């Protein structure tokens, strides 16, 4: 029973960690494919305040009073060139964002036009792989083409080739749907509309500047460090994906820790069962232990007998548990499930990581060896004379 408990405890621990980590990694990949590893936005402007010295000398003392953030990037070409010089940065692209009403098929909805340069934007996002209807070539060839999300297309009953009207700040422009994309993030698929940057400038009445610059990195895990360095160099606020998605990352981390603690209780219960079993064996085998001691077995020899029992159960439990975990993980990854909201997937997402197996092995080893050590120590302290006299208890 202890062996079975360890097998299932190890297997369940690995499977739950693979699932929670899998969904977390898939969420991160989705966010990186939509919003990039980091964004450069809002120009930093230092503010100064002056204090005049009394006496009418005209002498003033200027002190730094903080910083103000000016919305947007006023000179995107210069900033992109500076950001691109960082060796960790792979690609950059400018984005002009605004608000508008989209009208079509006698329906009207709120949307957020995103003006992009397609050739650069596809290098910092997964837009090329997110198109489900239509294609990017039609969008590239049509200066008044538009890409809409699946949620927006469904609500407005739009199809590829349908004309739409975008109304922003009193400026009306006609576009044609060149493609429909799906990111799986409901808010993005419901609001975000991609148009060409020149058309967005006319629509939003912003002839220069952009809202932000999106970038991809060689190692997205280093985004906070790179963002901090970029901010000090280009004097624009830089936000990493870890800071941007901090809330969701904390949720996934809490789920992973909670599931690990819960499943570890199975291994703990199995260790308690092994402890009780070995203690009963020691109590029942006192005469046999006395005979062994009389034959010349030392205390540590008797203790090793019980430790080897625990070690044997541990090795068998880890081998069978890890094998069962790998089989179950593979089976779960094939189970169909439709999720839409913070990402899109049609099956369970798992993450294969050797650290899950190592962590489960360490937890099981600690619990089993502690459960084996106490009975082994008790058995090794039994003296043959005490057992014969009946005073060994």
Query: Each residue of 54-79: pLDDT tens digit?
Result: 555 555 555 455 567 778 898 999 99
Helices (H), the chain: 2-35, 76-84, 118-121, 127-130, 136-141, 150-156, 186-191, 197-204, 223-234, 241-244, 246-284, 286-294, 299-333, 354-380, 384-389
Look at residue 63 in the predicted model and tell me its pLDDT. Answer: 47
* CA–CA distance, 312 with 315 (Å, rounded to integer): 5
Q: What is the pLDDT of residue 102?
A: 94
Alpha helix positions (H), 68-148: 76-84, 118-121, 127-130, 136-141
Q: Quick check: 37 and 217 in contact, CB under 8 A? A: yes
d(CA 48, CA 145): 46
Give the Cβ contact number of residue 241 at 10 Å: 23
CA-based nearest residue to 211, from 79, 43, 96 = 96
Nearest alpha carbon to residue 93 among 145, 148, 38: 38
329 by Cβ neighbours in 10 Å (0-12 / 13-18 / 19+) ranks as buried
- Is the distance from CB of 241 to CB of 35 less than 8 angstroms? yes
Non-local CB neighbours of 319 within 8 Å, separated by 6+ positions? none
Torsion sign across C-alpha atoms 148, 149, 150, 156: negative
Contact call for residues 27 and 252 (beta carbons, < 8 A): yes
β-pair partners for 97: 114
β-strand partners of 194: 114, 147
The answer to whether 334 and 347 have CB atoms below 8 angstroms apart is yes
Q: What are the tokens at 207?
A: 């002839």
pLDDT confidence of residue 190: 92
Ranges of residues in the chain whose predicted pLDDT is under 70:
46-67, 278-297, 299-303, 341, 374, 376-393
Neighbours of 140 (CB within 10 A): 14
Q: Taking the CB of residue 273, how many other CB atoms lie within 10 A of it?
A: 17
- In the three-class reduction of DSSP (H, G, I as helix; E, B as strand; rest coil), residue 123 is classed as coil
How confident is the model at residue 294, as a pLDDT?
62
């Amino acid at each position: 029973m202890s062996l079975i408990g360890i097998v299932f405890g190890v297997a369940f621990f690995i499977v739950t960690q693979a699932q929670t980590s899998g969904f977390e990694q898939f969420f991160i990949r989705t966010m990186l494919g939509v919003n990039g590893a980091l964004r450069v936005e809002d120009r930093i402007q230092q503010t100064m305040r002056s204090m005049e010295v009394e006496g009418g000398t005209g002498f003033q003392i200027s002190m730094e009073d903080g910083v103000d953030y000016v919305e947007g990037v006023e000179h995107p070409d210069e900033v992109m060139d500076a950001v691109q010089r960082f060796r960790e940065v792979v690609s950059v692209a400018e984005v002009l964002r605004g608000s508008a009403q989209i009208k079509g098929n006698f329906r009207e909805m709120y949307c957020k036009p995103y003006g992009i340069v397609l050739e650069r934007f596809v290098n910092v996002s997964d837009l090329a792989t997110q198109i489900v209807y239509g294609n990017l070539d039609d969008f590239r060839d049509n200066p008044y083409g538009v890409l809409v999300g699946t949620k927006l297309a469904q609500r407005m009953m739009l199809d590829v080739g349908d004309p739409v009207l975008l109304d922003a700040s009193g400026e009306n422009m006609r576009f044609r749907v060149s493609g429909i994309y799906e990111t799986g993030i409901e808010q993005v698929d419901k609001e975000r509309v991609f148009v060409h940057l020149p058309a967005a400038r006319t629509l939003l009445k912003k002839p220069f500047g952009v809202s932000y610059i999106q970038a991809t990195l060689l190692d997205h895990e280093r985004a906070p460090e790179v963002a901090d360095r970029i901010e000090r160099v280009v004097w624009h606020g830089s936000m990493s994906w870890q800071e941007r998605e901090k809330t969701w990352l904390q949720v996934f981390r809490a789920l992973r820790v909670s599931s690990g603690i819960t499943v570890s209780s199975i291994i703990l219960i199995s260790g308690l069962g092994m402890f009780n079993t070995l203690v009963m064996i020691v109590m029942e085998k006192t005469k046999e232990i006395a005979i062994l001691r009389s034959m010349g077995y030392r205390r540590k020899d008797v203790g090793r007998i019980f430790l080897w029992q625990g070690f044997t159960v541990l090795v068998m439990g880890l081998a069978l548990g890890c094998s069962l975990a790998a089989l179950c993980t593979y089976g779960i990854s094939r189970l169909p499930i439709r999720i839409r909201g913070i990402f899109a997937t049609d099956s369970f997402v798992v993450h294969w990581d050797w650290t899950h197996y190592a962590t489960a092995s360490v937890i099981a080893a600690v619990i089993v060896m502690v459960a084996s050590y106490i009975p082994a120590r008790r058995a090794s302290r039994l003296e043959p004379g005490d057992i014969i006299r009946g005073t060994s208890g």
